[in-house]
Amino acid sequence: MVEGYSPLRLLLIGSPGAGKGTQSGRIQNNFEVSTISSGDLLRRNIAQGTDIGKRAAKEMKNGAFVSDEVMVKLIDSELAKLGAEQGWLLDGFPRTMTQAQTLDHTLESLNQPLNLVIHLNVPEEVILQRIMDRWVHIPSGRVYNMTYNPPKHAGLDDVTGEPLERRPDDNPETFKIRLQKHHELTEPLLDYYKNRNILVSLSGNTSDEIYPQIRELLQTRFKPEDASEVAGQGLA
C-alpha cells in the first residue's frame, strides 16, 4: 500500500448479471485486493455439502435470498481472515438493509469502514442474454461468456483446465425472480450509501465500457503500488 492511501474497502452493487464477478476479477488482477463474493462462497459450500450449503441450495436455485443470519455469519468469518491493512472488495453482499447495517457495525468494530461503493448500472435488456451465455468455474468463481469472454478451450477453465458449468439459477424464470428481489431489497441500499457520500454509479452496456471507468476511479483514489505499470497493462 502506498503511504497516504487507505486500503481499498469496496462494495460492488449491481443487478444479477450486471458484471460484478467480471469486474471483481479485473480489479483483483490490477489492484491489491482480496475479493469476497457471497454467491461464489455459497456455491462452494453447496459443492462441498456443508451445512450452510444445504441450507442455501434451495433458495439459490429458486432465485430467493438466503437468510440474513446465514449471510452475515458467512461474510463475517471471511472478513475476520483479512488483516487491517488488506484491501478487499465485496461482490453480492450486503444486499438487504439488515445486511448493510450489520456490516457497518462489524466494520466499525474492526475500525475498517467502507470507503467506496460502486453501482454497476447496466440496462436490463442486455443482461438476460449474457446470463444465458454464461459458464462458470465453481471452485474459483471465474466467469466466462461464449461471445464476450470465451474460455481458451471450449468448456474448460483457463487456469485449471477443469470443466465449466452452467448455474442452476441461470434460466429466464429464475432470473426474473432474482431481478425482482434486487429491485425490492437491494436497490434501497443505493440511497443508503448515497447519503453517506461513498456511492459512485457507473453506466455502460457494451463489453468494455465500465472497467476503464472503474480503473480510473481506483487509480485516482487508491493508487496501486505501481500505477504506471498498471496503466500500461491495458484491460485485464
Residues annotated as catalytic (active site), given as ranges = 20, 95, 134, 167, 178
Under DSSP, the state recorded for 202 is: E
- Among candidate residues 140, 131, 147, 146, the one with its CA nearest the CA of residue 161: 140
Contact status, residue 111 vs residue 85, Cβ threshold 8 Å: no
**Nearest distance from residue 5's CB to ligand AP5, in Å?**
27
**Nearest distance from residue 224's CB to ligand AP5, in Å?**
22
Determine the 3-state secondary structure of 12 from DSSP.
Answer: strand
**Nearest distance from residue 183's CB to ligand AP5, in Å?**
12
207 binds, among Mg ion, ligand AP5, none (CB under 5 to 8 A by kind): ligand AP5
Applying CB under 5 A, which part among 35-43, 67-75, 154-162, 228-236 lies near Mg ion? 35-43
Applying CB under 5 A, which part among 39-47, 131-139, 146-154, 184-192 lies near Mg ion? 39-47
Helix (H) or strand (E) segment spanning residue 75: helix 68-80
| Peptide bond before residue 94 is cis, with ω within 30 degrees of 0 | yes
Pairing of the two strands 88-91 and 34-37: parallel
In this chain, which of 7, 17, 19, 21 binds Mg ion, going by CB under 5 A? 21
- What is the spatial distance between Cα 170 and Cα 145, in angstroms, rounded to a whole number? 13
Q: Which is nearer to ligand AP5, 176 or 196 (CB)?
A: 176
- What is the spatial distance between Cα 101 and Cα 168, in angstroms, rounded to a whole number? 30
- What is the spatial distance between Cα 213 and Cα 31, in angstroms, rounded to a whole number? 14
129 belongs to an annotated ligand binding site: no
Q: Which residues would be at the binding site for ligand AP5 (CB under 6 A)?
A: 14, 16-22, 38-39, 42, 59-60, 63-66, 71, 92-95, 99, 130-131, 133-134, 143-145, 148-149, 169, 178, 207
221 belongs to an annotated ligand binding site: no
145 binds, among ligand AP5, Mg ion, none (CB under 5 to 8 A by kind): ligand AP5
The yes or no reply on residue 16 touching Mg ion (CB under 5 A) is no
207 belongs to an annotated ligand binding site: yes
Tell me which residues in 114-173 interact with Mg ion (CB under 5 A).
none
What DSSP letter does each residue of 89-158 carry, written as one string?
Answer: EEES---SHHHHHHHHHHHHHTT----EEEEEE--HHHHHHHHHTEEEETTTTEEEETTTB--SSTTB-T
The contact set with Mg ion (CB under 5 A) reads: 20-21, 39
Binding residue ranges for GTP: 17-22, 134, 143-144, 207
